[in-house]
Structure 1
Amino acid sequence: MNVLVLTDLSEVAKNAGSYAVQFLADIPAHFFLLNIKLFHPDQPETDFDNKTRDLALGKLQQRVSELKELSANKEHRFSVIYSESDLVGATRKFVEEKKIDLIVMGAANKLHSPNTIIGNHTYEVITKIKCNILAVAENSRYRIPRRMVFPIDYGVSLEHQNLRFLQRPQIAQNAGITVVELGCETETARPESLFFDQLHNRQIETKQMPTSEAFSEGQLKVLQQDFDMILLLGKNINICGELLHTEQGLYSRVANELPILVLHQ
């Protein structure tokens, strides 16, 4: 598996990288640590010279050393990349060039809210790049995923390829999935068979919930207590917006400690 870790060399990004190495502990993986010029907005343009790039690469190598110590998998490899392109352009380039299976990002935006999981950078990548993305909240601490919650609605077509990442051996393989069907008050068809057919090796339960009740502080508290990870479909724009929008989403107002895995085709 090829993993692109976007890092601004902050503690939030450091936590995300550590989480990813532990999450993929049993999987052969090549981690590419990418530092982008955009992540240094306070530094004057003239300061971005070879010295700055070398300093960033040096810090990335130091981070690689820390991740190697954390990893017990001899099939984990690490490389560093520095780019002066824009965030989306650089990320898209290396997703294609390195055949990336998963993007990993820290998710925090101190300037917007001290509690938000989702910052401008993370939301932009989720909505503009079709690659599986693991957004790790600042306060997320790795624990073996046992229960994952998967909200879906009837406004999007569900296709087999959306679940390919979860079909990989050793991806949270012992974790059960609770599928929360939203909008069920107006529909009779239920897509649960898709999950039973494609994720036959997992324990899956299905619950129904009116959309009006789903995105609330009360529900968030329940998620924190009962689950280890949130699953989303990248094409499920309505749900992603309700949860992750940088200004209007639930997680821009309320603290969250659960990592979010966004699945794309």
Structure 2
Amino acid sequence: MIKKLKLIFATDFTDAADNAMEYGIQFSKDLVGDNVEGILVHAHKHFVPYSNTPAIPVIENDSLKEELKDKLDERVNSLKNRLDVKQVFQRGNVTEVIKKLVDEEEPDMIIMGTRERGSFERMTLGTHTAEVIKKINCPVLAVPKEAQYKGVNNITLTADNESLNVNNKSLTLLKDFASRENIKFNVLHVFEDGKNKDLKAEMKNTALHRYISNIDHEHKPIADMEAFEGIIKYIDEDRPDLLMAIPRNRNFLKDLFHSSVSTKLIYHTQIPVLLLIDR
């Protein structure tokens, strides 16, 4: 059981990053009370604007650097009465900075915003969230800009029928979230190609089912659909508070939020995604 959570909050000072930080704090305090330790990190580069294309790095700009540092100080100071927090301000690629921090601090989770729509915002935190998930071995809570925390009482885990090969930190998060009182916990399986066998029997013969057998849960099959179409269909119908996933393919979040079948999800849902990590 988790007794304390150490979190990395990645910020680029956009509304999406601020909202993800607020969501992550409330989300974590619901699980472990005041036993939350935070690290607020900003990885900075200096840019010159150029139309709607990604910005071009330029030489060190001391005044901009001070402005960014002041913004980070402001956010850290605003959090000090809510949790034990420290800051990391480092120049470099966001993913590389966070990876180094994960290696040093061994956090339980990374909190990041996603789905910004402006040209500048699209090339910053939203893009980096998918990159962090792809390259860093730590659970990531990806929070849409529109998400407002109202408690997490309805959780859906997307699963396949492969062997359960998940790191211990992710397994602990999974079990702790799913075993809370008054939680509706569903395990979603999407089957392709018109399978006619007993889907429930197949689902209950998985390592995942055996691992959570002592937790109240239901298996939800969706047949004759591709994975992302099935996930989106289920989310639209059931409206869980949180989607948990174990992405075998580290492009999962990019595919889920940016594939052609997920346009409706991008613009009409407010559901955070907790990406657990396979080995």
TM class, shorter-length: 0.7 to 0.9
Q: Distance in 1 between matches of 2:171 and 2:48?
A: 36
Post-superposition offset of 1:32: 0.8
**Matched letter for residue 191 of structure 2:** G
Q: How does 1:1-265 map to 2 (within 5 A)?
A: 1-25=5-29, 26=33, 28-38=35-45, 42=49, 45-46=57-58, 48-69=60-81, 71=82, 76-111=83-118, 119-154=126-161, 156-159=162-165, 161=167, 162-168=170-176, 173-174=180-181, 175-183=183-191, 185-186=194-195, 189-191=202-204, 194-195=207-208, 197-199=210-212, 202-210=215-223, 212=225, 215=229, 218-224=233-239, 227-236=240-249, 240=253, 242-244=255-257, 246-248=258-260, 250=262, 253-265=266-278
Q: Distance in 2 between matches of 1:243 and 1:257?
A: 14
Q: Does the 8 Å contact 2:42/2:88 carry over to 1?
A: yes
Post-superposition offset of 1:96: 0.7
Q: Does the 8 Å contact 1:8/1:39 carry over to 2?
A: no
Post-superposition offset of 1:193: 5.8
Post-superposition offset of 1:87: 1.9
Q: Distance in 1 between matches of 2:178 and 2:165?
A: 19
CA spacing shift, 1:240–1:60, aligned 2, 3 Å: closer
Q: Deviations over 1:89-122 (max 9, x none)?
A: 111111111212211101123147x99xx93221
Q: Deviations over 1:48-90 (max 9, x none)?
A: 4343333222211211233345x3xxxx311111121112211
Post-superposition offset of 1:254: 3.8
Rg larger for = 2
Q: Distance in 1 between matches of 2:236 and 2:6?
A: 34
Q: Does the 8 Å contact 1:21/1:67 carry over to 2?
A: no
Post-superposition offset of 1:12: 0.8
Q: Distance in 1 between matches of 2:80 and 2:63?
A: 26
User: Once superposed, which parts of structure 1, at least 4 consecutive aligned residues long, lie more than 6 Å away?
Assistant: none
CA spacing shift, 1:138–1:264, aligned 2, 3 Å: same
**Matched letter for residue 172 of structure 2:** R
What's the Cα RMSD here?
3.2
Q: Distance in 2 between matches of 1:45 and 1:213?
A: 40
Q: Does the 8 Å contact 1:102/1:133 carry over to 2?
A: yes
Q: Distance in 1 between matches of 2:179 and 2:67?
A: 36
CA spacing shift, 1:51–1:191, aligned 2, 3 Å: farther
Q: SS where residue 257 of structure 1 aligns?
A: coil
Q: SS where residue 139 of structure 1 aligns?
A: coil
Q: Does the 8 Å contact 1:37/1:83 carry over to 2?
A: yes
**Matched letter for residue 62 of structure 1:** E
Q: Distance in 1 between matches of 2:46 and 2:259?
A: 20
Post-superposition offset of 1:46: 4.5
Q: Does the 8 Å contact 2:155/2:242 carry over to 1?
A: yes
Unpaired stretches in structure 2, ≥5 consecutive residues? 50-54
**Matched letter for residue 90 of structure 2:** S
Q: SS where residue 103 of structure 2 aligns?
A: helix
Q: SS where residue 158 of structure 1 aligns?
A: coil
- Give the TM-score of the pair, scaled to structure 2: 0.76
Q: Deviations over 1:101-153 (max 9, x none)?
A: 211101123147x99xx932211111121210000011100011111011212
Q: Which residue does 2:52 correspond to in 1?
A: none
